């Protein structure tokens, strides 16, 4: 037993020594092969990270379209008083819910105008496309749609509105421009609106975040929690989003496949060239009496180490690229997915092994003497 | 002698040349298809974003306030101004008419059905219109792709109507039933039940002529919704056209900004006011910019990978031939002469491989366009010289280092094979 360990020791150290010397002596070519491996692994990591994360990022972008779910009271009634609290507790951090109440009020000269009470801070987050000159900040301030402003306060003066015999005096804080029905309305804070009209909200607009499946699962939960209401998905937003995202994802997938294929082929050709180039080492080892298994083990270990180191370094570089792209393009960093690390490592080692085994297989049949004579 | 050396090198080393050529072909192919897809993606995604519906609305210039709550129109029909239906085909004569995906006029009318007051919305479904010699179809079907009909779409020249799904539920109607509208001598057939997820679910949607007949105003249109493919808004787009002079105005007018299309709609339709629907128009720009930016960065990554693959293959191919270079040097060839031969070979490889790669890449781009976007991705001919130039550059860069080292290397060692 002891003699065997003593024999194995120098052998193992010789093996390590050969590996190290091979890398040091031909550092130019070893560095080139390693570089190819690093770049390929980096590009692959970046693509995989982006592919997974871009969907989440684009979902966030699409939330700028506003509500994708609307809760409406049945047939002109009002929502139950605790509806908003129920929705908020159900949604948690997964979205925002904004209540809206509407009445038709009259101006001082009897013209009808729609007045809406809402949570102005939340509307600001929900409907980012609203172009508002100044948001109301004080009591008695109102936000006027551009067309409503021409009717109620053409000179920007304070104005009166009456509803069922009760009159309020309001200051125009700013104007609102959306290009749709909102332009003809007057918006007040919900508290002020309820003090004046006594009409509670009839609609809650919800921007639920997440994938279409997650939103689809939220809908029945909402319907169950609020039995006397209609819970409707906004199909315009949901279907448009699904369509654009689907196409973007397919394009990204095709691009990722093309890039990964190119990178893998690049590594393969570089590594094969490197191994092929060392056929003299191969021949000398063989001529000195090394067994096929030893030589195979040597080249395979070398390739595996190269693949692993290249893939690990490439992973780090790739993650930084993905984070950088996220910051430049989406103004939010892409969260690194460490789950792809094993795949990258495995892929890197596999490509390196193929690159080592193919030339070895070709060289095995050649006599060492032929190689050494330089033919 | 020079030509013969190059020729013989290609004839005798077919395997090596094929390998290097294949790397160049692959690299150029990937680069070509990625560039083609990236340059076209803005247009393609822009069209997909039209799935969000109209991004422009045209209203009469002198209009009273809308009185709409949750899609129910409370405005008395006598109130306000109308657009003239006869002006609509003029949109097809606009400078940017190719960017107009479709338009649909609407005319809401309050009607009484079975003792219940509901809104009847007159519109085009897929109406045949003529402008000059051009015939085209437009209407709600082209601008609202999320509208789903159980049954059939009504013909635009018929008296058939669609009933929103919630209204159909309360009235107990289904496709094929007859519907009585109070005050109308004729009853209307329900062609189908409409589901939109919006206000239309509580409405009756009818051909425009039906709504005009009920209102007693032939040719009247309350609003016009337009869906147009636009360019993302920038600071220049937001300038007031009245302050722009000469060439600046021309540039503004001839860019498909949502503002300039609105301006042209106002020109085409007399006494109208066109406005962007900010929910759709503004967000479109952001989403488009994000996707375009992403594709640009990914294209850069692809170009990097392709360039690396090509230069790595070339470096390997050149490195294998240092014995040959050593031999040439021993026979007295100057380093410039040696480099010239190898660069000529690289040039030939790049042009040949590049041409094949360009053709392959163009085909790949078309396959991607057809399978993902159902439309052609255009590969412009201008791309060809650019791609070939890039291929030559990358091939040279890949070979240069190997050639330089081989030329500098002592021929004696090179010939003994000690690289």
How far apart CA A210 and CA A212 sit, in angstroms, is: 7
Residue pair A203/A86 in contact by the 8 Å Cβ criterion = no
Burial track A327-341 (b if 16+ CB lie within 10 A, e otherwise): eebbeeebebbeebb
pLDDT at residue B11 greater than cutoff 70: yes
Q: State the pairing for strand pair B178-179/B188-195.
A: antiparallel
Q: Does A61 touch chain B (CB under 8 A)?
A: yes
Contact list, A68 vs chain B (CB under 8 Å): none
Q: Does B196 touch chain A (CB under 8 A)?
A: yes
Q: What's chain A's Rg over C-alpha atoms?
A: 34
For A66-114, the pLDDT digits (tens) are: 888 888 887 667 788 788 888 888 888 888 899 999 888 988 888 888 9
Contact list, B275 vs chain A (CB under 8 Å): 179, 183
How far apart CA A52 and CA B308 sit, in angstroms, is: 25
pTM to 2 decimal places: 0.78
Residue pair A100/A204 in contact by the 8 Å Cβ criterion = yes
When CB atoms are compared, the residue of B41, B166, B297 closest to A251 is B41
Share of chain B above pLDDT 70, in %: 95
From its phi and psi, is residue B114 left (phi > 0), alpha (psi between -120 and 50) or beta? left
Averaged pLDDT for residues B368-393: 85
The residue among B153 and B324 whose pLDDT is bigger is: B153
Q: Does B378 touch chain A (CB under 8 A)?
A: no
pLDDT band for position A9 (cuts 50, 70, 90)? low
pLDDT at B58: 92
The ipTM (two decimal places) reads 0.78
Report the range out of A106-110, B159-163, B334-338 with the highest average pLDDT.
Answer: B159-163
Contact list, A47 vs chain B (CB under 8 Å): 298, 301
Q: Which residue has the tokens 């809402």?
A: A118
Measured in angstroms, the CA of A88 and the nearest CA of chain B are apart by 22
Averaged pLDDT for residues B198-203: 86
Residue ranges with strand state E in A201-316:
203-208, 229-233
pLDDT band for position B194 (cuts 50, 70, 90)? very high
How far apart CA A237 and CA B351 sit, in angstroms, is: 48
Measured in angstroms, the CA of A92 and the nearest CA of chain B are apart by 25
Q: Does A181 touch chain B (CB under 8 A)?
A: yes
> In this structure, what token pair is assigned to residue B370?
């057809």
Q: Does B319 touch chain A (CB under 8 A)?
A: yes
pLDDT at B416: 66
How far apart CA B296 and CA B351 sit, in angstroms, is: 26
When CB atoms are compared, the residue of A47, A58, A129 closest to B290 is A58
When CB atoms are compared, the residue of B144, B304, B313 closest to A269 is B313
Q: Does B112 touch chain A (CB under 8 A)?
A: no
pLDDT at residue B291 greater than cutoff 80: yes
pLDDT band for position B358 (cuts 50, 70, 90)? very high
> How confident is the prediction for chain B on average, in pLDDT?
84
Contact list, B419 vs chain A (CB under 8 Å): 277
From its phi and psi, is residue B248 left (phi > 0), alpha (psi between -120 and 50) or beta? alpha
CA distances from B79 to A186, B67, B105 (A): 20, 11, 18
From its phi and psi, is residue B272 left (phi > 0), alpha (psi between -120 and 50) or beta? beta
Residue pair B358/B22 in contact by the 8 Å Cβ criterion = no
Say whether A251 and B49 touch across the interface (CB within 8 A): no
CA count, 13 A, side-chain hemisphere, A75: 7
Interface of A with B in 334-373 (CB under 8 A): none
Closest by CA to A323, choosing from A39, A58, A57, A50, is A50
Interface of B with A in 269-308 (CB under 8 A): 275-283, 286-287, 290-291, 293-295, 297-299, 301-302, 304-306, 308
When CB atoms are compared, the residue of B293, B372, B419 closest to A250 is B372
Contact list, A321 vs chain B (CB under 8 Å): 301
Say whether B278 and A177 touch across the interface (CB within 8 A): yes
Contact list, B56 vs chain A (CB under 8 Å): 179
The residue among A343 and A4 whose pLDDT is bigger is: A343
Return the residue in A149, A269, A322, A326 with the most chain B beta carbons within 10 A, the one to mutate for interface testing.
A269
Say whether A269 and B309 touch across the interface (CB within 8 A): yes
pLDDT band for position A2 (cuts 50, 70, 90)? very low
For B113-140, the pLDDT digits (tens) are: 888 888 899 999 999 998 888 888 999 9
Measured in angstroms, the CA of A200 and the nearest CA of chain B are apart by 15
Give alpha helix (H) positions in A186-234. Answer: 190-197, 212-225
For B163-178, the pLDDT digits (tens) are: 999 889 888 888 888 8
Residues in chain B: 419
pLDDT band for position B360 (cuts 50, 70, 90)? very high
For A224-274, the pLDDT digits (tens) are: 888 888 888 888 888 888 888 888 888 888 888 888 888 888 788 777 777
- DSSP annotation of B271 reads T
For B241-282, the pLDDT digits (tens) are: 888 888 888 888 888 888 899 999 998 998 898 988 888 888
Measured in angstroms, the CA of A8 and the nearest CA of chain B are apart by 32
pLDDT at A16: 78
Say whether B283 and A151 touch across the interface (CB within 8 A): no
Contact list, B74 vs chain A (CB under 8 Å): 104, 112
Residue pair B36/B361 in contact by the 8 Å Cβ criterion = yes
Averaged pLDDT for residues B292-312: 83
pLDDT at B56: 92
Interface of A with B in 197-256 (CB under 8 A): 202-203, 230, 232-240, 243-244, 247-248, 250-252, 254-255
pLDDT at residue A1 greater than cutoff 60: no
Return the residue in A29, A251, A267, A373 with the most chain B beta carbons within 10 A, the one to mutate for interface testing.
A251
pLDDT at residue B105 greater than cutoff 90: yes
Q: How far is CA B56 from the centre of its chain?
A: 18
pLDDT at residue A200 greater than cutoff 50: yes
Say whether B309 and A330 touch across the interface (CB within 8 A): no
Q: How many CB pairs under 8 A join A and B?
A: 217
Handedness of CA A85, A91, A97, A103 (dihedral sign): negative
Q: Name the closest residue on chain A to residue B70, using Cα atoms.
A: A203
Measured in angstroms, the CA of A3 and the nearest CA of chain B are apart by 39
Q: Which residue has the tokens 């297989």?
A: A361
How far apart CA A65 and CA A129 sit, in angstroms, is: 8
How far apart CA A324 and CA A74 sit, in angstroms, is: 49
Return the residue in B31, B286, B291 with the most chain A beta carbons within 10 A, the one to mutate for interface testing.
B291
How far apart CA B168 and CA B75 sit, in angstroms, is: 24
Residues in chain A: 375
Say whether B298 and A47 touch across the interface (CB within 8 A): yes
Q: Which residues have C-beta within 8 Å of that of residue B170, sequence separation ≥ 6?
A: B116
Contact list, A111 vs chain B (CB under 8 Å): 65
pLDDT at residue A147 greater than cutoff 70: yes
Q: Name the closest residue on chain B to residue A372, using Cα atoms.
A: B417
DSSP string, B179-200: E--TT-SS-EEEEEEEE-SSGG
The residue among A278 and A240 whose pLDDT is bigger is: A240
> How many CB atoms are closer than 10 A to CB B55?
28
For A301-339, the pLDDT digits (tens) are: 888 888 899 999 999 998 888 888 888 887 777 777 788
């Amino acid at each position: 037993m002891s003699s065997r360990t003593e024999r194995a020791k120098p052998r193992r150290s010789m093996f390590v020594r050969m590996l190290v010397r091979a890398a040091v002596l031909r550092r130019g070519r070893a560095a080139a092969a390693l570089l190819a491996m690093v770049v390929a692994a980096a590009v692959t990591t970046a693509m995989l990270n982006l592919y997974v994360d871009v969907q989440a990022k684009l979902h966030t972008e699409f939330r700028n379209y506003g509500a994708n779910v609307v809760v409406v009271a049945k047939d002109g009634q009002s929502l139950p008083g605790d509806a908003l609290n129920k929705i908020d507790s159900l949604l948690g951090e997964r979205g925002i819910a904004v209540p809206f109440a509407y009445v038709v009020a009259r101006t001082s000269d009897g013209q009808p105008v729609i007045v809406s009470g809402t949570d102005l801070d939340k509307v600001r987050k929900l409907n980012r496309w609203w172009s508002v000159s100044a948001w109301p900040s004080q009591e008695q301030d109102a936000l006027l749609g551009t067309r409503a402003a021409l009717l109620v306060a053409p000179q920007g003066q304070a104005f009166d509105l009456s509803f069922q015999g009760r009159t309020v005096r309001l200051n125009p804080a700013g104007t609102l421009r959306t290009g749709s029905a909102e332009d003809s309305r007057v918006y007040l804070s919900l508290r002020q609106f309820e003090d004046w009209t006594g009409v509670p909200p009839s609609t809650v607009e919800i921007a639920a975040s997440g994938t279409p499946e997650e939103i689809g699962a939220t809908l029945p939960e909402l319907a169950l929690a609020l039995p006397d209401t209609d819970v409707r998905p906004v199909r315009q937003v949901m279907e448009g989003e699904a369509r654009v995202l689907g196409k973007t994802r397919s394009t990204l997938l095709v691009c990722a496949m093309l890039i990964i294929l190119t990178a893998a082929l690049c590594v393969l050709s570089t590594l094969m060239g490197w191994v092929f180039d060392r056929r003299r080492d191969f021949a000398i080892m063989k001529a000195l009496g090394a067994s096929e298994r030893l030589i195979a083990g040597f080249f395979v270990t070398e390739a595996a180490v190269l693949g692993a180191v290249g893939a690990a370094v490439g992973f780090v570089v790739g993650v930084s690229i993905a984070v950088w792209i996220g910051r430049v393009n989406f103004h939010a960093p892409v969260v690194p997915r460490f789950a792809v690390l094993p795949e990258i490592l495995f892929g890197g080692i596999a490509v390196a092994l193929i690159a080592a085994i193919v030339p070895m297989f070709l060289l095995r049949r050649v006599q060492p003497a032929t190689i050494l004579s330089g033919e | 002698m020079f030509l013969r050396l190059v020729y013989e090198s290609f004839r005798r080393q077919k395997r090596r040349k094929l390998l290097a050529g294949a790397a160049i072909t692959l690299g150029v192919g990937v680069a070509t298809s990625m560039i083609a897809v990236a340059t076209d993606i803005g247009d393609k995604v822009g069209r997909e974003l039209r799935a969000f519906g109209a991004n422009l609305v045209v209203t009469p210039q002198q209009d009273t306030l809308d009185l709409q709550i949750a899609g129910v129109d409370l405005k008395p029909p006598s109130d306000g101004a109308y657009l003239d239906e006869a002006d609509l085909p003029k949109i097809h004569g606009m400078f940017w008419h190719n960017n107009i995906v479709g338009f649909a006029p609407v005319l809401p009318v309050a009607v009484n059905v079975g003792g219940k007051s509901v809104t009847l919305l007159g519109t085009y479904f897929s109406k045949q219109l003529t402008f000059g010699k051009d015939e085209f179809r437009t209407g709600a079907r082209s601008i609202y792709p999320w509208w789903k009909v159980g049954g059939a779409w009504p013909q635009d020249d018929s008296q058939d109507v669609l009933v929103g799904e919630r209204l159909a539920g309360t009235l107990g109607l289904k496709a094929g039933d007859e519907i009585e509208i109070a005050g109308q001598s004729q009853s209307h057939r329900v062609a189908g039940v409409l589901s939109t997820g919006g206000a239309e679910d509580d409405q009756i949607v009818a051909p425009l002529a039906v709504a005009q007949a009920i209102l007693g105003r032939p040719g009247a249109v309350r609003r016009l919704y337009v869906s147009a493919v636009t360019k993302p808004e920038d600071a220049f787009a937001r300038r007031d056209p009245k302050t722009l002079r000469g060439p600046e105005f021309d540039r503004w007018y001839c860019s498909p900004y949502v503002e300039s299309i609105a301006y042209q709609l106002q020109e085409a339709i007399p006494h109208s006011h066109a406005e962007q629907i900010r929910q759709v128009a503004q967000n479109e720009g952001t989403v488009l910019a994000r996707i375009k930016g992403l594709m640009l960065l990914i294209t850069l990554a692809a170009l990097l990978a392709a360039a690396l693959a090509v230069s790595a293959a070339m470096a390997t191919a050149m490195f294998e031939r240092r014995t040959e270079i050593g031999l040439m040097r021993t026979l007295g060839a100057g380093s410039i002469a040696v480099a010239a031969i190898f660069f000529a070979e690289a040039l030939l490889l790049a042009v040949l491989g590049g041409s094949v790669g360009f053709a392959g890449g163009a085909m790949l781009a078309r396959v991607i366009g057809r399978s993902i976007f159902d439309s052609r991705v255009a590969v412009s001919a201008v791309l060809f010289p650019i791609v070939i130039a890039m291929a030559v550059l990358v091939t040279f860069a890949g070979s240069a280092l190997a050639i330089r080292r081989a030329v500098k290397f002592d021929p004696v060692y090179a010939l003994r094979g000690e690289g």
